[in-house]
Amino acid sequence: MKKRIIFALTCAVAMALPVFDAQAEVDKHARNLAGSCAACHGTNGSNKSGMPILAGMDKALFVTALKEFKSGARPATVMQHHAKGYTDEEFELLADFFAAQKISKKH
Ligand code: HEC
């Protein structure tokens, strides 16, 4: 419980920090993009309810999966539709973001 509060505070502080440099701007963009994946893949890609877990996913596998969803080469129920909304550069950003996430024990 205490850990959860600390985690929430850390997140609040991290989000409230002003953006000072280009890298921070890139990180923010990645986080915003990743936000639309959370509905299905869970916060930070750590979903526990049967959807693929993205947290900690290998970057190359991640980018390949999205490119194949986008081109239609990889069968999917919903991801072909989702992948079409992003550029290759955004796939890279998303891959970096999710590769850096830890699978959360709590949800
Ligand atoms: C509407 C729910 C939904 C949303 C929103 C969604 N996904 Fe998915 N995702 C799925 C499902 C379901 C699969 C399994 C493939 C399929 O059936 O489409 C999947 C599969 C994947 C895979 C392949 C995982 C693996 O192990 O092969 C990746 C990578 C992925 N999604 C990334 C994303 C990213 C990045 C976003 C946000 C831009 C996102 N998804 C948004 C439902 C979703």
Find the domain containing 49 and state its range: 21-99
For residue 90, being part of any structural domain is answered with: yes
Q: What's residue 80's pLDDT?
A: 97
Q: Higher-confidence residue: 6 or 61? A: 61
Q: Which residues contact 4 (CB under 8 A, 6 or more apart)?
A: 106
Report the distance separating Cα 69 and Cα 75, nearest Å. 7
For residue 2, being part of any structural domain is answered with: no
8 Å CB contact between 33 and 78: no
Give the closest residue to 84 by CA, choosing from 101, 97, 67: 67
Question: How many folded domains does the chain comprise?
Answer: 1
Does 66 sit in the ligand 1 pocket, CB within 6 Å? yes
Does 54 sit in the ligand 1 pocket, CB within 6 Å? yes
For residue 88, being part of any structural domain is answered with: yes
Does 36 sit in the ligand 1 pocket, CB within 6 Å? yes
| Other Cβ atoms within 10 Å of 71 Cβ, number | 11
Q: What's residue 66's pLDDT?
A: 98
Residue minimizing CA distance to atom 27 of ligand 1: 65
Torsion sign across C-alpha atoms 88, 90, 93, 99: negative
* CATH code where residue 60 lies: 1.10.760.10
pLDDT tens digits, one per residue of 26-78: 889 999 999 999 999 998 999 878 899 999 999 999 999 999 999 999 999 99
